[in-house]
Structure 1
Amino acid sequence: MTIPQTTREYRLPKVDGFHNLTLVEAPIPKLKSNQVLVKVHAVSLQYRDLIVAKGEFPFMQKKNPVPGSDMAGEIIALGADVTGWKLGERVCSNFATDHLFGDITEETKATSLGGAIDGVLTEYKVLPAHALVRVPEHLSYEEAATLPCAALTGYSTLAGTNTLKGGDTVLVQGTGGVSIFALQLAVASGALVIVISSSDKKLEVAKKLGAHHVINYKTVPDWDAEVLKLTKGRGVDHVIEVGGPHTLLKSVNCVRYGGTIHIIGFIAGQYSQEAQVDLSRLPLLILGKAVQMRSNLIGSRTKFEEMNRLISAVKLRPVIDKLFDFENLRDAYEYQAQQQHVGKIVIKVSKD
């Protein structure tokens, strides 16, 4: 295979909206001895990509970035000192390329793709070999591209402190990428899962994926009371908390004594007055129930490899809502912004 010298990549020269996404041609950097060149086949989008494009990402963001954090592709060139990898292998990159094991640090966080450093919405990507994980054999490139952020966040959340056990009850908020993976992984681990959403159609999908109970929070606004009723007053062992301030008090109300609330998102009213919720009672409520509240930033490469073993063992298949061509990236962002999807939105980068 002839090694290309240039790549088409998207840039964000301004960050006041995804209308600024600009497709340009750029030279491919020369490989360092510990790097590989990956032909990108597919990329999945995140809620994070929307706020990066708006300049509202609350963490480190470089100027004029190549956006996108989650990819799957094939190795087409190897640096001189790379061992353990061969040409043609199907790979994903970890979200933070230097987060190899253990807790994230300020230094490893600074290697987060599509924010702190250039991302993966490009036809070819140079990556450090130590960031790579192998794609599970039963997955397509499009399916594998959904794993680095959404799947790994769900897995690291449930496999962290107060690790999920078979027979635990899990409340999953919503049906976006992380939420759907948390549902699938919890079911695969033998947990009982309750899902809340504003859409009966989305809840039907959740039931097909193994949710034991579903609640439409538009028709049942006191969904926390309904969760307590479903658990016979005990409350759930784990809450996958994606709403943020607007849902947090209800999450505390329906988690069991000593249970865990996993903070992984802030999508409910984040940029509206609805988000201005009085949380002054929160510390006392947490103390009164001995609730554990934790968060994690995606996960390490080691966790990624661990998760892929589970995915391979149960032949889990990611849920892809819609595919878009590379040239139609703005349409994909628009679809992501509408928040009507279930599972993941994926960009097909390579034509072959």
Structure 2
Amino acid sequence: MKQWMTGQDGFRNIRSVEAAAPTEGDLKDGEVVVEIGHVSLNYRDIEATQTHLSGQVTEQDLASDLGLPLPGVLTNYRIFPDTGFVAAPSHLSDAEASTLPTAAVTAWMSLNGFQPMGQPIRGMDKVVLLQGTGGVSMTGLQIAKALDLTTIITSSSDEKLKRAKELGADHVINYRTTPDWDKKVLELTHGRGVDVILETGGSQTLWKSFECVAFGGLISAIGYLSGKEDEPEKRWNVSVMALKRNVTLKGILNGPKDRFEEMLAIAYGKDKGIKPVVDRVFDFDQAKEALQYLQSGRHFGKVVVKVA
């Protein structure tokens, strides 16, 4: 079989190699061989665990992360424990279904991680802010609309914002032309702020998220696309910002299997008609190009590699 390998020295150095396909003799009790058809790419592929079945993720669960420290899935075949499987919605293609374990679960936990099982946040009186038009944000938009939530999207591209409106976004903000987008969010919410923020920007956006979250609201910290360190002149005290509006800042590392199944039952039934947004599908031998495309930020939704 073929598989892509890395020395953890950057995706530009990944290489395609030949390897022996797993056989029945390689299996332990409770394991199955999977022929992989499609793989969706993520900025942080290690967030998809196999042992995180329920409750809060633990440090021990991170030992089963795909991509690091365990091998990833850009390969023809992989062995997995049989406890890690979830049935894909029948109305989705393989490419669409491949986006669910990371992007959709992350979005679901960002919205509903503090909600009791089976009682997701609902209602147009609840407002969600989604940063950017990548996989998590676009999946979050679709899930939010399925739950009848009001949505606000930020992006630097008017074309992407137009597409987000077509997917149901209630309000859009171009943060290039409206650098004080936090003030615009407050204006759109009549000064109240938003209930939940899917914070993907990191150091350059978090301080503005604190300014426009509703009192008692939730900031779900997902990524750091703008960097890990803030500008020196903008140093601020997180505890003061959190106390100012009684805010909860929660880091999101994907989610457990039982919340995955909850999400599928509530948001991805045939009656909802949700189909994940797949921007582009690359062939297996184009994996490096696919990663470069993802890094460029030109995508809208998910980037997928077709393996088989």
TM-score when normalising by structure 2: 0.93
For 1:84-99, list aligned pairs within 5 A. 95-99=48-52
The answer to whether 1:148 aligns with 2:142 is: no
2:60 to 87, 104, 107: 107
Q: Does 1:16 find its partner at 2:12?
A: no
- Residue 39 of structure 1 deviates from its aligned partner by 0.7
Of 43, 46, 52, 2:42 maps to 46
Cα drift, residue 297 of structure 1: 0.9
| Aligned partner of 2:235 among 249, 269, 279 | 279
Runs of 5+ unmatched residues, structure 2 = none
Cα deviation for residue 275 of structure 1 reads: 5.2
Q: Work out whether residues 268 and 275 of structure 1, in 8 Å CA contact, stay in contact via their aligned partners in 2.
A: no
**Identity, % of aligned positions:** 43
The residue matched to 2:196 in structure 1 has which SS?
A: strand
State the partner residue of 1:120: 73
| Correspondence 1:53-68 to 2 at 5 A | none
* Structure 1 residue 277: Cα displacement: 6.1
Letter of the aligned partner of 1:283 in structure 2? S
Q: Does 1:257 align with 2:186?
A: no
Which one of 257, 261, 265 corresponds to residue 305 of structure 1? 261
Higher relative contact order (CA 8 A, sep 6+): 2
Uncovered stretches (5+) of structure 1, i.e. residues with no partner: 1-6, 50-67, 70-94
Pair 1:325-2:278 in alignment? no
* 2:187 counterpart letter in structure 1: K
- C-alpha distance in 2 between matches for 1:298 and 1:216: 27
Correspondences of 1:29-40 after superposition (within 5 Å): 29=22, 30-40=26-36
For 1:137 and 1:314, locate their aligned partners in 2 and report how far apart those are by CA, in whole Å.
13
1:116 counterpart SS class: coil
Question: Shift in Å at residue 314 of structure 1?
Answer: 1.0
TM-score (norm 1): 0.81
Aligned to 2:203: 245
Measure the CA separation in 1 of the matches of 2:212 and 2:304.
Answer: 34
Across the two proteins, how many residue pairs are aligned to each other? 298
**Cα offsets for 1:15-54 (capped at 9, x unmatched):** 33222111112223411121111110000111125xxxxx
Alignment partners' CA distance in 2, 1:279 and 1:186: 32
SS in 1 for 2:102: helix
Contact 1:158–1:164 (8 Å) recurs in 2: yes
1:217 aligns to 2:175 (yes or no): yes
Q: Distance in 2 between matches of 1:180 and 1:314?
A: 16
* Alignment correspondent of 1:292: 248
The question of 1:205 aligning with 2:176 is answered no
In structure 2, which of residues 105, 113, 121 is the aligned counterpart of residue 164 of structure 1? 121
Q: Per-residue deviation at 1:276?
A: 4.9
Q: Which amino acid aligns with 1:172?
A: L
Secondary structure, aligned partner of 2:275: coil
The one-letter code sitting in structure 2 at the alignment partner of 1:248 is L
Deviation at residue 110 of structure 1 after TM alignment:
0.9
- Provide the C-alpha distance between the structure 2 equivalents of 1:282 and 1:32, rounded to a whole number of angstroms: 47
Instruction: Report 1:191-202 matches (<5 A).
Output: 191-202=149-160
Q: Equivalent residue for 1:335? A: 293
- Moved >3 Å (runs of 4+): 273-279
